[in-house]
Structure 1
Amino acid sequence: MRSTIAELFQACEEVDHLDQWISISSLQREFNSPAPDIKREISLWEDGDGKLIAFGQLSIPELSVDAHLSFKVHPTFRGEGIEQEIIKWSEQRIREVATDRNTSVKLRSGSRDTQTQRIALLESCGFTPCRYFLRMERSLTEPFPKPELPKGFTLESALSQQFSSEIGQRHFLEAWVEMFNQTFIDHWNHHDLTVEQLEHEVSHPHYRQDLDLVAISASDGTFAGFCCCFINPEKNQDKGTKEGGIVILGTRRGFRKRGLGKAMLLSGMQRLRDVGMDKALLGVDAENPSGATRLYESVGFRKVHTNIFYVKEF
């Protein structure tokens, strides 16, 4: 079934050109993600011949009142009412959740700003825009400043000698999770990360310890800033590109306004360039409270497109 779903996603990508590359293995990892507080519900739609033509997935956190709907409809069958069926299915489940929890529940769904039909669909079903995220990119073949860490910090990676033992690796994961949660606790739609979830992420076959960077306080060993980069060689080979993503960048609260964010960003860009990438990609909340968009623009990143999150409350 996962291969059939991947084929549907690919058929949509060939028409939509959203750069949402997918593979069977990536679907497998997503469906098996050990997020203990997330209940994933999937529904499939087929035509009269049994061909998969639509996919809907609800992610419903147990510890939150925000659920998320993602869906795909085969281009040949769009505009025939299947999209409305998917939304009705998701709304029915959300109403059940709201009743069970005796509270209001928000249903979110996203759209690229260029997907006018999807936007019209969501708005006609009572969704309203609530947040905007920018996709940005920068060429790594063009020069950029050399990273300079503020005094009192050292740059390490998950590959560093101090984390090479089993105990060292465990310390890295636990300290990284604490840093992540402290960094993003004041950000929109934040959910605390667990060590178990991080272990799942670093077990990814394309995860590279040398691209997982942290700034450590020399005085007490606190993980103060981080930049985690990712390269998908399958996607690059399929597209004929040399792109790397800056997946996560942040500075822990209490260590901001010292230049750590810029130093970690430039360090990540340098690592990607050193391993042969010629372009860096990232995503950012347009209303990021720490002013990340200005930071990215200051080192040459430019907006490629905007993703819009829509919400409907029950």
Structure 2
Amino acid sequence: MATIMTRPYLGAKDLSKITNLVEVSNPTGYLDGDTSVCELPAMLAEPESDNSRNIRLWEDANGNLVGFGQLLVFHTPETVDGWLIFFTHPQVSGDGLESEIIDWAERRMRWLGREQQLPAVLHTDVRDDTLSRQAWVERHGFHRDRAFVTMKHDTPNTLESRPMPEGFTLRSVSQNQADIKAWVDLFNQSFCDHWNHHDIDEATLQRWLSNPHNQSDLNLIAVSSRGDFAALGYGYINPEENARTGENVGWIKWLGTRRNFRRRGLGKTMLLATMRQLYSKGVEAVKLSVDADSSTKAMSLYQSVGFQPLETWISYTNALYL
């Protein structure tokens, strides 16, 4: 491998270099099934991300960025979970830099595990058609844990009309404190039995809602006659991503129903309502990412309204010995 030096992330001035590297390394411009390179600025600005230690850059002798690794770290009572996002320039791909980045991530996660006195688990997502990348992570002891399918719907004229189930009303989420608190509780209760769920807090939701592309009427909730938040549909349109790809799409980022309100038709009703809101904004298609083995059989729900699979991302896991 040619001379390559590593250094920490130096802030906003590195952002364009990282963006260019991602797009050269992966022309789709996606970091996982539903996270675009256009969302990197927000990810790098997360206040709890500890960028000085959880991001590393690799440069060649001329100062060109050829490698990037970022760890997104989540703490649970049982483990310290880290998601590794990494890219290498095609000119150095296969020369050992991928292994160097993974080694760095493993060392960092072991350190965090020892600090918290908890087992450390490292994850990374790989598109199923990138066989060399799969081979790299498997050589490092990762095993396939889950598959996530990116799906697309582009026939708005086929959407059925479906009223809210009796006893529930549909409205958007406001940014008052009561709604924020109730929505966070709804989110955590809706996804607590999903694979590798991590609770969010009110500060996290506030950051999501402060995104300049957030549109309040795309973030819907079903409210029971008692005032309980029962189900949610969170839609999102990123004009920067659409300009980059030349597409005109909206995303369903979250769709969930609180466990004690399931099997009442709320899931499909919220799905259709969120899709209609996205289409009303002028998008030509709606996308989402779904756990292929979801315990709620979400993929079947999406197929029932006309979503078709586009690509599959494999989530790899490596439980690290401390």
Q: 2:58 is matched with which residue?
A: 45
Letter of the structure 2 residue corresponding to residue 138 of structure 1: H
SS of residue in 2 equivalent to 1:60: strand
> Quick one: distance in 2 between partners of 1:186 and 1:34?
27
1:287 Cα deviation after fit: 1.4
Q: Does 1:231 align with 2:237?
A: yes
1:263 to 261, 269, 280: 269
Matches within 5 A, 1:212-223: 212-218=219-225, 220-223=226-229
2:302 to 286, 296, 304: 296
Q: 2:282 is matched with which residue?
A: 276
SS of residue in 2 equivalent to 1:6: helix
> Quick one: distance in 2 between partners of 1:112 and 1:177?
30
Letter of the structure 1 residue corresponding to residue 68 of structure 2: F
Letter of the structure 2 residue corresponding to residue 185 of structure 1: C
Is 1:54–1:73's contact at 8 Å kept on the other side of the alignment?
yes
> Quick one: distance in 2 between partners of 1:102 and 1:239?
44
Letter of the structure 2 residue corresponding to residue 210 of structure 1: D
1:35 Cα deviation after fit: 4.5
Name the TM-score, length of structure 1 as normaliser.
0.91
Structure 2 CA distance for partners of 1:152 and 1:52, relative to 1, 3 Å: same
> Quick one: distance in 2 between partners of 1:296 and 1:40?
39
Q: 1:206 is matched with which residue?
A: 213
> Quick one: distance in 1 between partners of 2:98 and 2:311?
24
Letter of the structure 2 residue corresponding to residue 65 of structure 1: V
> Quick one: distance in 1 between partners of 2:97 and 2:51?
26
SS of residue in 2 equivalent to 1:75: coil
Unaligned runs of 5+ in 1: none
> Quick one: distance in 2 between partners of 1:183 and 1:39?
34
Is 1:262–1:295's contact at 8 Å kept on the other side of the alignment?
yes
> Quick one: distance in 2 between partners of 1:144 and 1:269?
9
Percent of aligned pairs with the same amino acid: 39
1:240 Cα deviation after fit: 2.3
1:79 to 94, 107, 116: 94
> Quick one: distance in 1 between partners of 2:84 and 2:246?
31
SS of residue in 1 equivalent to 2:113: helix
> Quick one: distance in 1 between partners of 2:65 and 2:211?
28
Is 2:29–2:37's contact at 8 Å kept on the other side of the alignment?
no
Q: 1:171 is matched with which residue?
A: 178
1:86 Cα deviation after fit: 0.5
Q: 1:132 is matched with which residue?
A: 147
Q: 1:9 is matched with which residue?
A: 22
Letter of the structure 2 residue corresponding to residue 308 of structure 1: I
SS of residue in 2 equivalent to 1:174: helix
Q: 1:185 is matched with which residue?
A: 192
Letter of the structure 2 residue corresponding to residue 6 of structure 1: T
> Quick one: distance in 1 between partners of 2:270 and 2:52?
34
Count residues with an aligned counterpart: 301
Q: 1:92 is matched with which residue?
A: 107
Letter of the structure 2 residue corresponding to residue 211 of structure 1: L
1:51 Cα deviation after fit: 0.8
Is 1:140–1:277's contact at 8 Å kept on the other side of the alignment?
no
1:68 to 83, 87, 90: 83
Q: 1:110 is matched with which residue?
A: 125
Structure 2 CA distance for partners of 1:176 and 1:107, relative to 1, 3 Å: same
SS of residue in 1 equivalent to 2:56: strand
1:83 Cα deviation after fit: 0.4
Structure 2 CA distance for partners of 1:117 and 1:32, relative to 1, 3 Å: same
Q: 2:315 is matched with which residue?
A: 309
Structure 2 CA distance for partners of 1:200 and 1:39, relative to 1, 3 Å: farther
Structure 2 CA distance for partners of 1:260 and 1:38, relative to 1, 3 Å: farther
Give the CA RMSD over aligned residues: 1.9
Task: Encode CA deviations 1:228-286: one digit per residue, 9 max, x unaligned.
Answer: 10001122123222100011001111100000000000001111111111101001111
> Quick one: distance in 2 between partners of 1:270 and 1:34?
34
> Quick one: distance in 2 between partners of 1:38 and 1:221?
41
Matches within 5 A, 1:21-40: 21-23=36-38, 26-35=39-48
Structure 2 CA distance for partners of 1:237 and 1:174, relative to 1, 3 Å: same
Is 1:54–1:71's contact at 8 Å kept on the other side of the alignment?
yes
Q: 2:204 is matched with which residue?
A: 197
Name the TM-score, length of structure 2 as normaliser.
0.88
